[in-house]
Amino acid sequence: MQKRIKAAKRWLLGVWLIGGAVYVQAQECPPWPREQLALETQALAEHVAIWDRAYHDQGKSLIDDELYDQAVDRLASWQACLGDKTPHRPLTRVTRSGGTLNHPFAQTGLNKADDAGVRRFTSRRENLWIQPKVDGVAVTLRYQEGELIEAVSRGDGERGQDWTARAHQLPAVPNLLPIPLSMVLQGELYWVLNDHVQSQNPASGARGAVAGAMAQQSPSPDTLNRVGLFVWDWPDGPTDMAVRLAELTALGFDTANYTHSLNEQRDAAYWRDAWFNGALPFATDGVVLKQAERPGVQRWSSSPPEWAIAWKYPAQQALAQVRGVEFRVGRTGRVTPLLWLYPVTLEGKRISRVSLNSLERWQAWDIRPGDQVAVTLAGLTIPQVTDVVWQARERAALSAPSPERYHLLSCFTLTSGCEAQLLARLSFLSDQLGMLGVGEGTWQALIDAGVVTDLLGWMEATPTQLQQAHGIGAVRAAALEAQFRAARAASYAAWLSALGMPPGGSAQLGNWQTLEGYSRANWQAIPGVGPVRADALAAFFSHPEVQRMALTLQQSDIAGF
């Protein structure tokens, strides 16, 4: 009985769950043996290296920017689990022939803060400023007496690709300054977008488009014109923000248009929301908070500074690790794969499972436990998988149910492998017959106790038998019996639907004996019933199990039978 109860509890075919039944956040150390963790970490590192080479050397974006950032964070997390805390540096080795250059001053990274981290940062500092975190490619520009003499990609923060020749071709990057200053500027080359609203179009591909423009051998004039420049710092300029902004404006840069001081009326949350939901000429992925006064440039390094932090936008798609795969059989026999995930959060919604909707999609993607998938919210409510970002090296064995085994006329009775479909049939029946408070949980308990073993097995159940089910006492048993008794008075049309009559049939066509006598040709003669529906209806009314149930209903004096 225990085995039967477990089988009926939730029918899982080929389900393989990593780490038992405990849910943990994906950024924690995976519950794998160290050897497997090392193998999967190496695989992820190889994927990141491929993405980096395509992005920086060929100008191709093989993965969405938001997912790439999450993948790099996951790589760092897994490496830390193995005791390796070396930060990811995508361009420590540059493979293009254009050469590399040292940055005059290090391009600092930024620590990422959550809501609580932003509150701590702002509560301990005064005179703070904010900028949009423009989503493009970082660049260092060096001017000597007003002339652009060097442009360097971010690289690893200390050294990057020599972009000088290409920068001279970009209309947005001045080759000569209006004032003959010697200076170093740090900023972002971005893809110019018209009235871009980040919250409405998160996957713009803007970062990849800029990388492509910088990597192409001979980009067109239109491509060069689409590359804009946002200067976000002047390392060897004035240390005070207000003075720095005024002088950048005098040089023709628009930094001041997108750099604002924080106050009680317009705090960090205000600007973050405004830039996330408002129109901008570039893609953004968050905001950057900075102190007005910062250390002199000689104290800079490529490590994240203490005087600035990044506050990213809420994730609009998440990189989720598959914990297990479950195959559910529905009322009509449709097999639907369900992915169990290590929980992720999107738009404040915690997501731990997502349907693939069809067995064909699972077969095409071949998703196994340990795989990493991209998850979004359709209509801001329904989670859906949009892609398999990468697959685990270790492929767990899965056995999916054969779609030929389950269909519209299978599993009216509890036989081996029929638990899930029968449960779905019973849940649908109670809904069609108006049974109040009788749902999947009730039917599951009755199946587990052996009280209900077929679609109409509840009709003769006594209160004593009902009380054999877990959680059903005398009061609940009496209430269930009352619901079962009331269901007998449901309309003939409701009963036809509850039994699973295919579309095209109707109670208005006659009683059961009349419909049972319809041939395929009779059904197809009805308006709206084509060959496929006619076949389904003829098969339904002639099926031995269906006819057996009809006889039971006739003997129980159910109207129409």
Rounded distance between C-alpha atoms, residue 92 and residue 52, angstroms: 11
Same domain, 185 and 293: yes
In a domain, 328, yes or no: yes
Q: Which of 46-60, 71-85, 488-502, 534-548 has the lowest average pLDDT?
A: 46-60
Same domain, 307 and 336: no
384-392 CB contacts, 8 Å cutoff, 24+ apart: 384/354, 384/355, 385/339, 385/354, 385/356, 386/317, 389/63, 389/67, 389/71, 389/319, 390/43, 390/44, 390/47, 390/71, 391/366, 391/367, 392/40, 392/43, 392/368
Please, are residues 144 and 180 in contact by the beta-carbon 8 Å criterion?
A: no
> What is the per-residue pLDDT across 331-345, written as a single tens digit (0 to 9) for each?
999 999 999 999 998
In the predicted model, is pLDDT for residue 189 greater than 60? yes
Q: Calculate mean pLDDT across residues 9-38.
A: 54
In a domain, 63, yes or no: no
Q: Calculate mean pLDDT across residues 385-392.
A: 93
Rounded distance between C-alpha atoms, residue 433 and residue 553, angstroms: 14
Rounded distance between C-alpha atoms, residue 151 and residue 163, angstroms: 5
In a domain, 298, yes or no: yes
Q: Which of 285, 312, 339 is the last residue of a domain?
A: 312
In the predicted model, is pLDDT for residue 16 greater than 50? no
- Name the band, by pLDDT with cuts 50, 70 and 90, for residue 4: very low
- Is pTM beyond 0.85 here? no
In the predicted model, is pLDDT for residue 24 greater than 70? no
Same domain, 367 and 444: no
Same domain, 287 and 324: no
In the predicted model, is pLDDT for residue 78 greater than 50? yes
Q: Calculate mean pLDDT across residues 300-321.
A: 84
Same domain, 326 and 293: no
Instruction: Please report the pLDDT score of residue 221 as a whole number.
Output: 95
Instruction: Please report the pLDDT score of residue 65 as a whole number.
Output: 77
Counting the structural domains of the chain, the total is 3
Same domain, 299 and 446: no
In a domain, 94, yes or no: no
Same domain, 266 and 139: yes
Q: How would you class 528 by CB atoms within 10 Å of its CB: exposed for 0-12, middle for 13-18, buried for 19 or more?
A: exposed
The total of other beta-carbon atoms located within 10 Å of residue 14's CB is: 16
Instruction: Please report the pLDDT score of residue 92 as a whole number.
Output: 39
In a domain, 151, yes or no: yes
Mean residue pLDDT across the chain: 88
In a domain, 215, yes or no: yes
- Name the band, by pLDDT with cuts 50, 70 and 90, for residue 58: low
Q: Calculate mean pLDDT across residues 129-146.
A: 95
> What is the per-residue pLDDT across 85-108, written as a single tens digit (0 to 9) for each?
766 655 433 334 358 899 998 888
* Domain boundaries, position 335: 10-22+316-390
CATH of the domain at 185: 3.30.470.30
> What is the per-residue pLDDT across 435-474, written as a single tens digit (0 to 9) for each?
999 999 999 999 999 999 999 999 999 999 999 999 999 9
Instruction: Please report the pLDDT score of residue 306 as a whole number.
Output: 87
In a domain, 62, yes or no: no
Nearest to 334 by CA among 267, 248, 428: 428
Please, are residues 23 and 352 in contact by the beta-carbon 8 Å criterion?
A: yes
Half-sphere exposure of 366 (CA within 13 A, CB side): 8
Same domain, 234 and 344: no
Same domain, 165 and 302: yes
> What is the per-residue pLDDT across 345-368, written as a single tens digit (0 to 9) for each?
887 788 999 999 999 999 999 999
In a domain, 541, yes or no: yes
Same domain, 293 and 323: no
Instruction: Please report the pLDDT score of residue 12 as a whole number.
Output: 36
- Name the band, by pLDDT with cuts 50, 70 and 90, for residue 23: very low
> What is the per-residue pLDDT across 240-299, written as a single tens digit (0 to 9) for each?
899 999 999 999 999 999 999 999 889 999 999 999 999 999 999 999 999 988 776 566
- Out of 112, 133, 312, 349, which one is annotated catalytic? 133
Cβ neighbours of residue 340 closer than 8 Å, sequence gap 6 or more: 17, 322, 323, 324, 325, 326, 352, 353
CATH of the domain at 519: 1.10.150.20
Instruction: Please report the pLDDT score of residue 87 as a whole number.
Output: 63
- Say whether 133 is catalytic: yes
Q: Which of 290, 312, 334 is the last residue of a domain?
A: 312
In the predicted model, is pLDDT for residue 13 greater than 90? no
Both tokens assigned to 61 = 């974006």
Please, are residues 504 and 537 in contact by the beta-carbon 8 Å criterion?
A: yes
Same domain, 347 and 436: no
CATH of the domain at 323: 2.40.50.140
Instruction: Please report the pLDDT score of residue 203 as a whole number.
Output: 73
Nearest to 71 by CA among 50, 54, 91: 50
Same domain, 304 and 328: no
Q: Which of 390, 405, 428 is the last residue of a domain?
A: 390
